[in-house]
């Protein structure tokens, strides 16, 4: 019995779709041959296909990642879509650092109280992606997040129909590897703040106040 036999739905699925959409979004990718059928549902093969290329001294990427140990290494400088626009990336990075530095300081000060319930890196990631989202919005671009062993992001054209098709196909294509995708939208509060609110029901209100202070410092 072949346990890896594809389902009827998988047989009907156009597993070239995500690659074709990416080639329409980013014309440079048209020069890259779409992976063979046996490799199209392999996320590592997808990463290899869309990997950054080095031109002169600069890297040009269409899929960026955020370093969990150093969130200021967030791929903004490598984003090919932004490299051709008149944007001061250094200024954006300064703004990110200005917002996130107080969080680390506040956490260090109160980690014995809130450390069990609060992951400071989650909060920093949220702030970084919110800043990237706002930057992309100003350029009529949308933000896609891909959750795998690390978190990746993409800046894509503002086309809800095509984005929906891409995300739907992407989810089906890599669901067996536990990889998922999100079309980022701005919430009334940060995602990690919402999660912490739910956890804070188990602790006193004063602890939650300590957390909130870090956001407005």
Q: Give me the pLDDT at residue 200, please.
A: 41
Is the residue at 82 inside a domain? Answer: yes
Residue 159's alpha-carbon distances to 81, 143, 149, 165, 166, in angstroms, are: 15, 11, 28, 10, 11
The answer to whether 85 and 182 are in contact (CB under 8 A) is no
Give residue 73's domain range. 8-216
Is the residue at 2 inside a domain? Answer: no
Q: Give me the pLDDT at residue 111, please.
A: 80
Q: Give me the pLDDT at residue 188, please.
A: 57
In the chain, how many domains are there? 1
Q: Give me the pLDDT at residue 55, please.
A: 73
Q: Give me the pLDDT at residue 210, please.
A: 46
pTM for this entry: 0.80
Block means of pLDDT (10 residues each) for the chain, length 217 residues?
Answer: 48 78 96 95 96 81 89 91 91 91 86 76 89 96 96 96 97 95 78 44 42 50
Q: Report CA Rg, the chain.
A: 20
DSSP, res 183: E
Is the residue at 3 inside a domain? Answer: no
Looking at the chain, list the stretches that DSSP marks H as alpha helix, in order from N- to C-terminal side: 8-12, 17-25, 43-49, 80-83, 89-114, 120-138, 160-174, 191-200, 205-216
Distance CA 211, CA 114 (A): 8
Is the residue at 190 inside a domain? Answer: yes
């Amino acid at each position: 019995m072949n346990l890896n036999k594809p389902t009827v739905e998988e047989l009907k699925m156009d597993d070239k779709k995500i690659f074709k959409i990416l080639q329409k979004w980013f014309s440079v990718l048209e020069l890259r041959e779409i992976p063979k059928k046996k490799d199209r549902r392999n996320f590592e093969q997808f990463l290899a296909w869309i990997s950054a290329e080095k031109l002169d001294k600069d890297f040009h990427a269409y899929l960026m990642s955020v370093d969990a140990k150093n969130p200021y290494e967030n791929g903004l400088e490598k984003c090919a879509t932004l490299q051709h626009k008149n944007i001061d990336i250094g200024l954006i990075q300064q703004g990110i650092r200005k917002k996130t530095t107080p969080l680390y300081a506040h956490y260090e000060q109160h980690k014995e109280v809130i450390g069990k319930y609060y992951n400071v890196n989650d909060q920093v990631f949220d702030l970084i992606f919110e800043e990237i989202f706002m930057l992309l919005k100003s350029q009529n671009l949308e933000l896609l997040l891909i959750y795998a062993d690390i978190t990746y992001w993409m800046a894509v054209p503002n086309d809800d129909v095509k984005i929906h098709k891409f995300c739907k196909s992407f989810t089906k294509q890599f669901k067996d590897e536990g990889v998922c995708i999100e079309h980022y939208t701005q919430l009334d509060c940060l995602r990690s703040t919402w999660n912490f609110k739910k956890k804070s029901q188990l602790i006193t209100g004063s602890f939650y106040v300590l957390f909130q202070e870090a956001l407005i410092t």
